[in-house]
Structure 1
């Protein structure tokens, strides 16, 4: 998506060789028109998969996941980040580290919203190391649902997340791949 690349160049800032701030585009402020274009693109890429639900992790993945679910006319489910260590007996729960937040959190999905009959599309804003993605994939597997694939708005391909998921046989489709943030500059694949 050339439009997304241009917006990243214009409105993002490189904080380090590993961290890109995209608050003006997807992480704090959301452009509805651009977000709907992202949803349309993901829907086009996964339309033949017979998706029954779109899933994401709160909170930055929600806008793109919502747009995708809207275009596909299916429900959106998002994994909540729990503050408590006490697991809800009616929820699937997984502990995941967050690269950006620098902490470990629990994510949970209520068992009533994910079942063995579901064919889910996982949409997320950014993939770096893939820890949150692996956690949600474990939840999907435990529910018995089928993972149709993953749509990622921005993949930092210089980190292992997307690559390791592909090596596991998961269809990962990224709208934009960033190969480097070195010297404060954004370089796309």
Structure 2
């Protein structure tokens, strides 16, 4: 995804501790044209894979997931970080946020994640893989099938991608960051 890589180099900002800020075009202010290109690339990369539901975790994964769902004409469900009082048949797990350095109990209704589902998980970042591992746990609890995981940006210098691939997960990352040392963005 040359357009995404170019935008990361042009507008991305690096902070100490391996943090890449892309809030001017991905996860605060969004570029809908770029988001559409991102979604189309996910659709192309998962072509031929059995998928009947797109799942993400709030909040930054919602925009790319909705675009993928729109193009594929599939429902999109997002895992919530706060447990609503009205949620029925709740499945829960705990995930650790690398960026915010805190644990969240996340939840999804088993009404919207069932044993019949073949899930494509879409998220903005893959760092240590905590949200992804939490999603795998929720999918397992529901008896659903994980068809694949798509990430807008993967940080190769953290272990998330390695962990998921070693588990046999079909992972597609559109931009892979090799290194952020000295706040210099190096893309594979």
Q: Greater helix share, 1 or 2? A: 1
User: What's the CA shift string for 1:110-133, capped at 9, x where partnerless?
Assistant: 111011111110001001101111
Partner of 2:138: 139
Shift of 1:45: 0.9
Partner of 2:3: 3
User: What's the CA shift string for 1:60-113, capped at 9, x where partnerless?
Assistant: 0011111111111100000000168x9x66111111111001111111111110
Partner of 2:171: 172
Mark the runs of 5 or more structure 1 residues left unpaired by the alignment.
none
Mark the runs of 5 or more structure 2 residues left unpaired by the alignment.
none
User: What's the CA shift string for 1:32-68, capped at 9, x where partnerless?
Assistant: 1100111111011112112100000000001111111
Partner of 1:56: 56
Q: Is the 8 A contact 1:55 1:120 kept in 2?
A: yes
Q: What's the TM-score once normalised by structure 2's chain length?
A: 0.96
**Total equivalences in the alignment:** 188
For 2:27 and 2:70, locate their aligned partners in 1 and report how far apart those are by CA, in whole Å: 20
Q: Is the 8 A contact 1:13 1:20 kept in 2?
A: yes
Could you list the runs of 4 or more consecutive aligned residues of structure 1 that deviate by over 3 angstroms after TM superposition? none
Shift of 1:26: 1.0
